[in-house]
């Protein structure tokens, strides 16, 4: 059974009219997960992350800036892309808290797989900076919790969002207990993720040229990223699940379809089964065509549940 973590507060983060990272993104995912196919989902309300859990990957200054942000008007801009509204603090706390609770659940054996249907997304947030629609780095908080609270020695993060997870890479590039493997379009925001960025041997970036499709994506994962993940023998698999490499997404130029997300989900679940006792936690990142996002997130969750 798949455990689903979400919270109504994640709908209250509102970057404003016309912004790509809108509340409707999560709404369409939750509507898709209400379909009869997902009737057996174990639905759990996401708790708030603790300050201590955030400080494992973020500086005190960054945590204080986000938690202390009092939005006087409709929103406050942190950079050209990233805004906070009155509901943003709780949304960010629930999004990161979902990832931590999901790690606890799979480590305790109360769930084998978990999907965190939350926002704001996280993988662009660095130790000191909110950016790229992201306030806290949810997947990094989860990985650090697995290391520190559960004593794991090998945690893998697989990121198939179309944008490079620069924040996740920066947080862990000197941490050999974490392997970060990412496929992403290049060139594209945020401009990082070159294949010669290797950290301490624990960073594996695979780039896709604009216009690449299913063949290039699968060849990259089968030929480069998955073999590195297999060799690492992770005790836990974490997934930054962005669905913005879909052919209809307005923010990128990769041409994947729903079947490609089923394929990569099957491969990552098999990796977790082989090395991690099945333990896999996925959290929502990007995806900005609402129809494609709902369909692909539903396929991802259904594949994990199966």
Residue numbers annotated as active site: 124
Query: Which position has the token pair 């392997």?
Result: 179
Residue 60 has phi, psi (to 5 degrees) of -60, -40
Say if CB 284 and CB 116 are below 8 A apart: yes
Centroid of chain to Cα 129: 17
Could you give the 3-state DSSP secondary structure of residue 43?
Answer: strand
Q: How many CB atoms lie within 10 A of CB 15?
A: 22
- Give the Cα separation of 139 and 120 in Å (integer): 12
Say if CB 238 and CB 139 are below 8 A apart: yes
Say if CB 126 and CB 167 are below 8 A apart: yes
Residues with Cβ within 8 Å of residue 103, at least 6 apart in sequence: 142, 145, 146, 149, 150, 236, 238, 281
Query: Tokens representing 274?
Result: 């082989």
- Give the Cα separation of 15 and 77 in Å (integer): 9
Is the bond preceding 190 in cis, omega lying within 30 degrees of 0?
Answer: yes
Partnered with residue 3 across adjacent β-strands are: 42, 114
Question: What value, to the nearest 5°, has the Cα angle with vertex 153 and ends 109 and 45?
Answer: 40
């Amino acid at each position: 059974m798949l455990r689903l973590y979400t919270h109504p507060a994640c709908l209250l983060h509102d970057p404003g009219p016309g912004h790509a990272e809108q509340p409707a993104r999560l709404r369409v995912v939750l509507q898709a997960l209400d379909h009869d196919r997902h009737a057996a989902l174990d639905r759990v309300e996401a708790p708030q992350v603790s300050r201590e859990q955030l400080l494992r990957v973020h500086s005190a200054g960054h945590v204080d800036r986000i938690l202390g942000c009092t939005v006087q008007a409709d929103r406050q801009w942190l950079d050209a892309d990233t805004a906070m509204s009155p509901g943003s603090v709780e949304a960010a706390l629930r999004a990161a808290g979902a990832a931590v609770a999901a790690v606890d659940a799979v480590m305790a054996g109360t769930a084998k797989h978990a999907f965190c249907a939350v926002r704001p997304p996280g993988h662009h947030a660095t130790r000191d900076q909110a950016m790229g629609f992201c306030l806290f780095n949810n997947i990094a908080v989860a990985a650090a919790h697995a290391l520190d609270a559960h004593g794991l020695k090998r945690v893998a993060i697989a990121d198939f969002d179309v944008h490079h997870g620069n924040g996740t890479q920066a947080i862990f590039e000197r941490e050999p207990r974490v392997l970060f493997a990412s496929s992403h379009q290049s060139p594209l925001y945020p401009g990082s993720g070159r294949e010669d960025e290797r950290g301490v041997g624990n960073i594996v970036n695979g780039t896709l040229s604009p216009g690449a499709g299913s063949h290039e994506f699968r060849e990259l994962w089968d030929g480069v990223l998955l073999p590195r993940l297999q060799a690492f023998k992770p005790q836990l698999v974490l997934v930054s699940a962005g669905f913005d490499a879909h052919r209809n997404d307005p923010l990128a130029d990769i041409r994947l379809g729903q079947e490609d997300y089923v394929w990569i989900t099957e491969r990552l679940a098999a990796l977790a089964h082989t090395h991690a006792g099945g333990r896999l936690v996925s959290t929502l990142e990007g995806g900005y065509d609402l129809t494609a996002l709902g369909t692909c997130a539903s396929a991802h969750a259904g594949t994990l549940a199966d």
